[in-house]
Structure 1
Amino acid sequence: MVDQQAPMNGSLPSEVVEGDVVIAGGGTTACVIAARLAEALPDLQIIIVESGADNRNDERVLRPLDGMFRVYEGASEVRYIQSTPSDHLDGRGPVVPVGNILGGSSSINFMVRRCAGAVTDMQMYNNASGSDFDDWQQPGWTFEELKPVIRKIETYTVADINRDDDVHGSDGPIPVSRGGHRVPYAEDYFRAMKLVKNVPRVEDIADYKTGHGCSFLAKLIDPKTGHRANAAHSYLYDRGHASTGSNIHILTRKTVVRVTFDNTRASGLEVCDTPRSPLDEAISGLQVVKARKLVLVCGGAFGSPAILERSGIGERGFLQGLGIDMVSYLPGVGKEYQDHELTICSYHAAEDIETLDEYPRGNAEVKAAADAEFRRTGGGLAASNGFDFAFKVRPTAADIQEMGPIFENHWKEVGLLKPDKPLYSGPLVPYFMGPTPRPASGRYFSLGAFLNYPASRGSVHITSANPHVSLRFDAGLLTHPADLPVHVWAYKMLREVARRLPMYRGEYAPSHPNFAPDSNAACVSVTHNAPPDEVQSLSYSNADDAAIERWVRKTVGTAYHSMSTCPMRPREEDGVVDGHLNVYGVQGLKVADLSICPSNLGTNTTTVALIIGEKAAQIIIEEMRGA
């Protein structure tokens, strides 16, 4: 048994503590796995080691709209991973914020919109395409095999559609609802999408099969309390775990240094105190947490490859150069970072239209009223995220030709014959959003979206055996020539959508490409808008296209959907884990988080992390019951 004097929050009773299953990282998948193991195997003692803080009853986590406006920016609950500067990005190095708190990025997604043009999961309920999972080519991980796992995650309470019980659950830990507020111009948006790209309105854009459509969005928000769903509350606290007498023990503010081994069997974790300052690289409080049965790494796309490399798992020459003894030669560790590429720009809105701009500006009257309603009823503006409708779009044959032969070859490989895969997707945002500073006055709306299956790849590696030393991270954005033409095409498409919205009053020029003043594509300001079906599409010259390309390079960011740095593939294909999540070449060690995705998925990634957590728990439970 674990010493009962030390079940929680970073307090270890001695230099060594021991459990049956020891989990490195307390993020989304870790919370899911720990809860499911505790329920299925109540005699199992589970220890979660989390580098960040507890999030229990943190109102910044629970109130959805606060999460849209940087309430965690600069806080210790977030780590910022700086990419190396890139010539492909006009010399920029994108920054990716990562949750440093129990529940991981499910607790802070969209609360840290720090780097220009980037946005994350924003409590938006979106799902992958079924074929995304089939593309992994792993027994047990096909879409059909994952459906029971998918249904197990959620309680789907969206009342205005017919729930598809094949893919939506009715009694899972994660609530799915419409949220507490909706802006009133959905029909205008749906009509504009139809006019511009023949995008049909569908009932449920998150049905795992729609690759071309637009609809209202559901949200990861509890319809009764208005609280945002996050893995720590939904799987642990709300289900009575991580409390006195529980078989889940959480050590917060403890950083994992490495996995320890007895020969090639994982035996535990070496941990140290998490420094209060990101500039502090001194290691203190070094201790060992022993695992009797299993060590599980759930550090995410950045943390998991780093933990493995510090543990002697990776490319031999690289690790030897850092003085780290080799345990298992796996050159695929950290080799293939994947993300989505996102661009966004803003437009002036009519002064009589509802936008949410005053909330992020800190308008005391607006915020006080919204917060009061939230505390009183669990509803209203603060019980929303402002993302009420979105699109998924596939290119036509003419679009593919416009984007060129390099893109065409890539699209043939990843999506052409798979109609459930959207090339580009995103929401309408009813307020100003990047990539430039927020204006002090005025009403705005924004349109942005991410490229779902970019051809570009990056990498993540350690630079020291010290866990507090910065990683060497290359985001890899736009490094493949197939990607840039898609962003140019998407900018033109979304601008035409904006121009057909009755609330459109012109482009907010600082957030758009720098077109020549005499260009037909130059930004404009208008006092009223023509009827949507009378708006004539803009024409773009070669010089205009070049201006858009420069704008993309200056503003494109990651969508904070980091994955694929410990891929689930055959070892000879640079795989790191097998279909049962076992790390090749060692025993008693698994990885379970977004790092195991062998290929990208056309979605925001919170639900994917939940699916991986549920599937991992299923695998571990079956193995332990069969042992």
Structure 2
Amino acid sequence: MHQEYDYIIIGAGSAGCVVATRLLQAKAGRVLVLEAGTRDHSMFHQIPATVVKVFQQKSWSYMTTPQQHCNQREMILAQGKVLGGGSSVNGMVYCRGQRQDYDLWASEWGCDGWSYQDVLPFFKKAENNESLSDEFHGQNGMLPVSENRYRHPLTLACIRASQEMGMTYVNDLNGWDQAGVGFYQTTTQRGERASTAQTYLKSVRHDPHLTVITGALVHKIETQAQQATSVIYSLDGKPPVTINVKKEVILSAGAIGSPKVLLLSGIGPKQHLEELGIECIQDLPVGENFHDHLHMSVNATLTTQNSLLGEDQGFKAVRHFLQWRFTRSGLLTSNILEGGGFLDTINLGRPDVQFHFLPVLDNFDNTPGEKSAAQQHGLTIKVGHVQPKARGSLRLKSRDPNELPIIDPNYLGHQEDIDANIRAVQAGLRLLQQPALKAIVKEVIEPANIEPEDIAGIDQWMRQNIKTVYHPAGSCKMGNSPQDSVTEQNLKVHGFDNLRVVDCSICPQVPSGNTNAIAIMIGERGADFILNQMG
């Protein structure tokens, strides 16, 4: 292995794989990719419907601190720890957020080079959409975007009920207007998950200029004056290795991993670093502005007995697997979160609440010790606010790179987040009252015996049941000033010529919806900045 590379990329997730691929395609030099997780060999990474199993097995076991607005609960905040990162373990929903999100980045957050018209070309560049072909979509990219091949009758019932509640049925939740209900397009291809490891990175895996090291824990980035000079990492607890860099270090370790590496490298809030005995090289608000999407599961049992309960057991499981294995069709091609929608609950002029429909009772990510869902046939409507206002922080526990950071997202720490999530639950409860669902619902069990108008009851239930949708963002916010941001608009860390952050941690405000497509867009744009040396 070489001791010097042109580019070192830390993190082979949704964004990191994109950056590595584009640099190699452009013949920009030798590229080293350091990934803390394992390779994505397991068949569970290929099968869309085994999303739960793979997520539990291939994630960082991050937890939050006790959340003061959520009954002091400590919550799971797992993130992908495998080649492909989130794109290898997520729910495969292809969602870009709203055009207004990016226009607000420009007008309210000072990121005037990141308006919707600035980012749309990079969404399109990434996308290979099998059915949509208008001014908003691309067909020549490396990311397959597909229609659902399997549509569960309960998802169809939820979509009909949404229309009965006044929502418009739409085929495209990523066009000019996000409002409406329909089937999510997914990052799948021919019945298989299409992670950035299996699409982007796989296309260059035989390139002699690429080196990928898995199981690599990064200790720090070494810097001199305004230059990143080397990266120190270790494998399986062995002595640390130092690799020098000629051109750039690109940090794509996500909204938790990227700030952690910067802080270990002496880049971050001076007082925090000095408390830990780390010399502060650059005083920046690393780890501030941390925020995330939240959701709750509105659950109902059913008279129809046709949910996914039991489909992963015995003969049924064997039959589904054989169908997937030989025909790439059937239930196992489903991402489970097949349908959903976006609605405007207070006449904002754009949606503020998102639905995900599950044809099974959601029992996937309950925090250990909390109650588990009933083993009954049922359905779940995941509901949540998509424009969180509360801001939290990420800090190091110690100077030891093996220690997980201290994460305090400050969930529900803003009154608007409380009000909007209550409205989200109200919308979910009203959806269950529509004819298409009322006909098959036996009992609403979460929240039990609470009417949509019972705001106090919903508030109490919400604080005990709200949890992350695994969309952390903002912890290395981009902007124009080192006082209130970590990176410049070209994603270079303030004060450095050759160190960039390229992932969702740069988002000043997380866009409205699932974040994988956004991370990939940021990867495309970051690669473009690097190759064209903008700024």
Shared fold per TM-score greater than 0.5: yes
1:203 maps to amino acid: N
1:51·1:274 contact (CA, 8 Å) conserved in 2? no
Alpha-carbon distance between aligned partners in 1 of 2:39 and 2:222, rounded to the nearest angstrom = 25
Question: Given the alignment, which residue of 128, 138, 150 partners 2:97?
Answer: 128
DSSP 3-state at the match of 2:21: helix
- Alignment partner of 1:54 out of 17, 28, 39: 39
Q: CA deviation at 1:147?
A: 2.2
- In 2, Cα distance between equivalents of 1:195 and 1:180: 25
Paired with 1:48 and 1:80, the residues of 2 have a C-alpha distance of 22
User: 2: CA distance between counterparts of 1:317 and 1:608?
Assistant: 32
TM-superposition CA deviations, 1:160-206 (whole Å, max 9, x none)? xxx2421211121111112331123566434422333x212223122
State the partner residue of 1:11. none
Structure 1 residue 26: Cα displacement = 1.4
Query: Quick one: distance in 1 between partners of 2:4 and 2:452?
Result: 67
Cα deviation, 1:385-415, whole Å, max 9, x if unaligned, reads: 1233211000245xxxxxxxxxxxxxxxxxx
Residue 102 (structure 1) shift:
1.0
Equivalent in the alignment of 1:506 = 442
Question: Paired residue for 1:148?
Answer: 121
Answer yes or no: is 1:32 the counterpart of 2:32.
Answer: no
Question: In the alignment, is the contact (CA less than 8 A) between 1:216 and 1:388 conserved in 2?
Answer: yes
Which residue identity lines up with residue 180 of structure 2 in the other structure?
A: G
1:259 matches 2:221: yes
Q: Give yes or no for contact 1:180–1:382 (8 Å, CA) kept in 2.
A: no
The answer (yes or no) to whether the contact 1:186–1:389 under 8 Å persists in 2 is yes
**Residue 302 of structure 2 contacts residue 379 of structure 2 at CA under 8 Å; is this kept in 1?**
yes
- SS of corresponding position for 2:69: helix
- Contact 2:287 / 2:393 at 8 angstroms: preserved in 1? yes
- Structure 1 pair 108–388 and aligned structure 2 pair: CA distance change class (3 A): closer
Instruction: Determine if contact 2:345/2:423 at 8 Å carries over to the other structure.
Output: no
Report the counterpart of residue 424 of structure 1 in structure 2: 353
- Matched position secondary structure for 1:89: coil
Q: CA deviation at 1:473?
A: 0.7
**Secondary structure of the corresponding residue to residue 309 of structure 2:** coil
Partner of 2:82: helix, strand, or coil?
coil
The equivalences for 1:54-453 within 5 A come to 54-55=39-40, 57-67=41-51, 69-73=52-56, 75=57, 77-109=58-90, 122-137=91-106, 138-158=111-131, 163-184=132-153, 188-196=157-165, 198-207=166-175, 209-222=176-189, 224=190, 226-237=191-202, 239=203, 241-243=204-206, 245-274=207-236, 284-330=238-284, 332-351=285-304, 354-359=306-311, 362-396=312-346, 416=348, 419=349, 421-434=350-363, 436-440=371-375, 442-453=376-387
Aligned residue type for 1:62: Q
Post-superposition offset of 1:548: 1.5
Rg (Cα) greater in structure: 1
- Residue 616 of structure 1: SS of its match in structure 2? helix
Deviations 1:315-336 (A, max 9, x none): 1121111111121111x10011
CA distance in 2, matches of 1:149, 1:597: 15
Describe the shift of the 1:367–1:611 C-alpha distance in structure 2 as closer, same or farther (beyond 3 A).
same
Are the equivalent residues in 1 in contact too, given 2:45–2:54 (CA < 8 A)?
A: no
Q: How many residues align?
A: 523
Distance in 2 separating the partners of 1:539 and 1:63: 37
One-letter amino acid of the structure 1 residue matched with residue 23 of structure 2:
L
Q: Which runs of 5+ in 2 are unaligned?
A: none
Q: Are the aligned partners of 2:15 and 2:520 in contact in 1 as well (CA < 8 Å)?
A: yes
Q: Residues 214-260 of structure 1, C-alpha deviation per residue, up to 9 Å, x if partnerless? A: 122211110x3x110101111011x1x223x4311101111110101
**Range with bigger deviation, 387-396 or 599-608:** 387-396
Q: Secondary structure at the match of 2:519?
A: helix
SS at match of 2:20: helix
Measured at CA, do residues 64 and 145 of structure 1 come closer, stay the same or move farther in structure 2, by a change above 3 Å? same
Which one-letter code corresponds to 1:295 in the other structure?
A: V
- 1:171 is paired with a residue of what secondary structure? coil
State the alpha-carbon separation in 1 of the partners of residues 45 and 246 from structure 2.
34
Q: CA deviation at 1:508?
A: 4.4
Structure 1 residues 132 and 100: CA distance shift in structure 2, 3 A: same
Give yes or no for contact 1:181–1:381 (8 Å, CA) kept in 2. Answer: yes
Distance 1:443 1:568, change over 3 A: same
Give, in whole Å, the separation in 1 of the partners of 2:483 and 2:283.
13
Contact 2:430 2:452 in 1 (8 A): no
Secondary structure of the residue that 1:482 maps to in structure 2? Answer: helix
| Matching residue of 1:114 | none
In the alignment, what sits opposite 2:4?
18
1:362-392 deviation digits (Å, cap 9, x = unpaired) = 3121211111011101111111112332110
- Distance in 2, matches of 1:577 and 1:339, equals 19
Answer yes or no: is the 8 Å Cα contact 2:146–2:185 preserved in 1.
yes
CA–CA distance in structure 1, aligned partners of residues 441 and 384 of structure 2: 24
| TM-score, with length taken from structure 1 | 0.80
- Aligned partners of 1:319 and 1:326 also within 8 Å: yes
TM-score (normalised: structure 2): 0.93
User: Given residue 21 of structure 1, which amino acid in structure 2 is its aligned partner?
Assistant: Y
Which runs of structure 2 are paired with 1:560-579 in the superposition (5 Å)?
560-579=470-489
In the TM superposition, residue 274 of structure 1 has moved relative to its aligned partner by 4.2
1:466-615 correspondence runs (5 A):
466-500=400-434, 501-509=437-445, 511-513=446-448, 515=449, 521=450, 540=453, 544-615=454-525
Matched residues, percent identical?
26
Q: CA deviation at 1:568?
A: 0.6
Is the 2:336–2:359 Cα contact (8 Å) retained in structure 1?
yes
Residues 298, 383 of structure 2: 8 Å contact kept: no
Q: Give the 3-state SS of the residue equivalent to 2:17 in structure 1.
A: helix
CA deviation after TM superposition for structure 1 residue 289, in Å:
1.2
Query: Structure 1, residues 595-620: CA drift from partner, whole Å, max 9, x if none?
Result: 00111210100000000000001111
Taking the aligned partners of 1:467 and 1:486, their CA distance within structure 2 comes to 37
Inter-partner Cα distance in structure 1 for 2:419 and 2:468: 17
2 CA distance for matches of 1:422 and 1:125?
17
Distance (Å, rounded) in 2 between the aligned partners of 1:264 and 1:272: 25
3-state DSSP of counterpart to 2:486: coil
- The one-character-per-residue Cα deviations of 1:272-323 (angstroms, maximum 9, x if unpaired) are 1245xxxxxxxx3211011011111111101111111111111112111111
Match of 1:279? none
1:465 pairs with 387, 399, 402, which one? 399
Deviations 1:434-479 (A, max 9, x none): 3642433x32111112210121111111121211112111021111
CA distance in 2, matches of 1:216, 1:296: 35
| Residue type of the alignment partner of 1:36 | R
